[in-house]
Amino acid sequence: MKPEISVYGQLVENVLKGLEDEFIGRISPMNAVQRVPVIGTLNQVTVEEERESIKKNISKALLVSNQTQRIYFVVRSMIMTILGAIITLGIFWQLGTINVVEDFVLGVSTYAICLVLSRLFDKRIFNISERVIVYLGEHARLRDFIVRNF
């Protein structure tokens, strides 16, 4: 299983577990040992309020998940761009100058090499991306800027 899928699965599982606990705790008193709600204390207004609360919480969780995926994509793209720039710099350093045909071949081959390398080092790139995402989680203005503009 891909690492990003497992992180997403854990996020969804944690959100659903938290929502279930919150819903049961808000709707009715419960036996802490058995986690069984006491019957007869529910009314229609309370249930409707809780449904709206759960809808808002699910929407918020999906928004956070979407933002995390977008940031991961941007970070991974930046890593590939840096890798491509290093490869291109190395080729320019060796050749000195290139013409249009060589430039086209260089662009296509650099892109292919970056894709292959990003798949070979997927776990390491994911770890780097995860660290950047954690860092961005602590800096809301920078994270929001990236999400809005990229």
List all residues 6 or more positions away from 7 whose beta carbon is below 8 Å from its beta carbon: 130
Mean pLDDT of 81-110: 87
For residue 31, the model assigns a pLDDT of 43
| pLDDT tens-place string over residues 97-129 | 778 888 898 889 999 998 898 889 889 988 888
Instruction: Write out the residue range of the structural domain in which residue 34 sits.
Output: 3-149
Q: Does the predicted TM-score (pTM) go above 0.95?
A: no
127 neighbors 117 (Cβ within 8 angstroms): no
Q: How many domains does the chain have?
A: 1
Tens digit of pLDDT for each residue in 35-67?
Answer: 444 444 556 667 778 778 888 888 888 888 888
